[in-house]
Chain A
Amino acid sequence: MAVPDSGVRLDPGSFRDPGSRVFHRRGEVLRGLDERSARDWRALAVSDFFRDLLAAGKVCGTEELIPTPVDAPWAAVLRHERIPFVTHPYEWSYGMLRDAALLHLEILAAALAAGFTTKDGSAYNLQWRGVAPVFIDVGSFEPVRDGEPWAGYRQFCQTLLYPLLLQAHLGLDFQPWLRARIDGIEPEQMRRLFGGARRLRAGVLTHVHLHGAMQSRNAGASTSEVRAQLRAAGYSRELALATVRGLTRLVRRLDHRPGESHWADYQRTCAYSVPDRQAKEGFVDRAVAATGPGLVLDLGANDGRYARIAARHADYVVAVEQDPAIVDALYRALRDEGERRILPLLLDLADPSPGGGWRGAERAAFADRARADVVLALALVHHLAIGRNVPLAAVLDQLVELGTAGGTLVAEFVHPEDPMARRLLANKPDGLFPDYRLETFETLLAARGRVVRRLELPSGTRTLYQVVIGG
């Protein structure tokens, strides 16, 4: 649709509901509503349940622009609170996906009780403010029509419930499944995975097998036909609420704890001496403080020690880690601490999230979302350069690209003779990395920014750099 304001950019991830579309203008996140959606919004805006959800921060902050901007081709325009860093469900840990699912169900139950429902049930309806999930799709609310089941149930199963079942019952990481398919996992795929005695696991017989069977048996019936039949047979709002309660009980039961990983012991086994750790903490603290508030990307965040230090000075810290178990442990710890400015994110820097969905733009790639004021690359470079064979210059190019010109890069170089580097080198043929040397690293760094501070840790095998990017 042509929008006659040059400063307007339609959000490439918001087109599936033509009556409610998100766009960006001068740094603001706005939502245009057609006549029908505007009527639904105005009914929603005066409802108590919605006000309570907004006050509790469970739905993203939303207000209507009054009067409606004359240059907008919409019946109403809403302004949303900005989500500090947009993420996709395949970048969440198990606990995050489960809490997001529970919030979606909580919101749906509150809506149903107040005479509303949500048009869909997708994991993409949710985002994060630190470790607090938030429902962002305000355009999804509409008055409920009595006698109709939830239109979002299938989507809820495919993008939230099935991934949880995969992980909780089979121990399979769900993220690759969601990353590969924007619409999630089909019931038919799930049925193949849950044969034999696995049918008896919680939620499988009904939400997987029965669901799949019903889909194939009713493939020829239109949804409007089936809706009319269900209404005539006496389907009620109480039944819809009972289904939501049942789903909530099921998701609560699926409290899976990922197994131990070797990264879980990393802080203990990576042999930092107390003086090394203190020096490193002080260095990071000073570097982030000097840059001032803004967005910090902590790459290879592990247990979040340095993310927490960065959060003392930053507006928001995205703690990126590649191990699902570590991200989950960090998420649970931050949630218990009530920390609101650190977002744990599951991502392998050697294989970051690509663009997904329609034209590869519906879900933005990590590289298109990440522009940080401070990039922390602590005990990371050697994992990429030696562990993943990425040329040292390419590693530094990536680190610099994730930051902003004039922003800060804090990088740690682990010398080839450090025990951790030696352990990684021992797995590779001798002489494979002749360029993995301190002098090379410093030359490459100087070509990409201005080193303003340098500190060799007391152990003598690790050096820290504070660099002004492009400076």
Chain B
Amino acid sequence: MTHLAYLDAGSGSLIVQALVGGVAGAAVAAKLYWRRLVARFRRQPTDQG
């Protein structure tokens, strides 16, 4: 279900909640950043082509 709350939760404010959630939370944040990094490298060749 896609839904946007009436309130702007703030992107950084959402991510920091993973970081303050102990080891399990840090693992989620690490995974998020890893996926962002991988996505960037994957995207680049097509962007250039």
Which residues of A come within 8 Å of B, CB atoms?
A: 16-19, 119-120, 145, 148-155, 157, 206-207, 210-219, 221-227, 229-230, 232-236, 238-240, 242-243, 246
Which of A18, A153, A236 is B6 in contact with, Cβ under 8 Å? A18
Q: From B1, B7, B13, B15, name the one whose CB has the most chain A CB atoms within 10 angstroms.
A: B13
Q: Which residues of B contact A212 (CB under 8 A)?
A: 12
Contact yes or no, A222 B21, CB < 8 A: no
Contact yes or no, B17 A150, CB < 8 A: yes
Number of interface residues of B (CB under 8 A): 31
CA distance A155 to B13 in the complex (A): 9
Q: From A207, A233, A242, name the one whose CB has the most chain B CB atoms within 10 angstroms.
A: A233
8 contacts between A and B (CB under 8 A): A17-B6, A210-B19, A214-B12, A214-B15, A217-B12, A221-B11, A229-B36, A235-B18
Contact yes or no, A149 B36, CB < 8 A: no
CA distance A221 to B36 in the complex (A): 12
CA distance A233 to B18 in the complex (A): 10
Q: Which residues of A contact B38 (CB under 8 A)?
A: none
Contact yes or no, B8 A240, CB < 8 A: no
CA distance A437 to B31 in the complex (A): 76
Known: A235-B28, A239-B21, A240-B17. A224 touches B4 (CB 8 A): yes
Given A154-B13, A214-B19, list of 10 further CB < 8 A pairs? A17-B6, A119-B6, A145-B3, A210-B16, A215-B13, A229-B36, A236-B24, A239-B24, A242-B22, A242-B24
Contact yes or no, B3 A233, CB < 8 A: no
Which of A148, A225, A243 is B20 in contact with, Cβ under 8 Å? A243
Question: B12-49 vs A: 1/0 string, CB under 8 Å?
Answer: 11111111111011011101100110000000000000
**Min CB–CB distance A271 → chain B (angstroms):** 53
Contact yes or no, A223 B20, CB < 8 A: no
Known: A119-B6, A145-B3. A239 touches B15 (CB 8 A): no
Contact yes or no, B4 A239, CB < 8 A: no
Contact yes or no, A223 B9, CB < 8 A: yes
Q: Which residues of A contact B36 (CB under 8 A)?
A: 229
CA distance A214 to B16 in the complex (A): 6
CA distance A218 to B32 in the complex (A): 13
B7 to A, closest residue via Cβ: A120
Which of A17, A224, A230, A236 is B15 in contact with, Cβ under 8 Å? A230
**Min CB–CB distance A89 → chain B (angstroms):** 17
Q: Which residues of A contact B9 (CB under 8 A)?
A: 149-154, 223
CA distance A234 to B24 in the complex (A): 9
CA distance A142 to B41 in the complex (A): 38
Contact yes or no, B7 A216, CB < 8 A: no
Contact yes or no, B16 A211, CB < 8 A: yes
Contact yes or no, A230 B7, CB < 8 A: no
Contact yes or no, B11 A225, CB < 8 A: yes
Contact yes or no, A211 B11, CB < 8 A: no
A234 to B, closest residue via Cβ: B28
Q: Which residues of B contact A119 (CB under 8 A)?
A: 5-7
Contact yes or no, A207 B14, CB < 8 A: no
**Min CB–CB distance B3 → chain A (angstroms):** 7
Contact yes or no, B19 A232, CB < 8 A: no
Contact yes or no, B29 A233, CB < 8 A: yes
Contact yes or no, A206 B16, CB < 8 A: yes
Can you list the 9 inter-chain pairs with the closest CB atoms, starting with the nearest? Answer: A215-B12, A214-B12, A154-B13, A149-B17, A151-B9, A218-B11, A233-B31, A233-B32, A218-B12
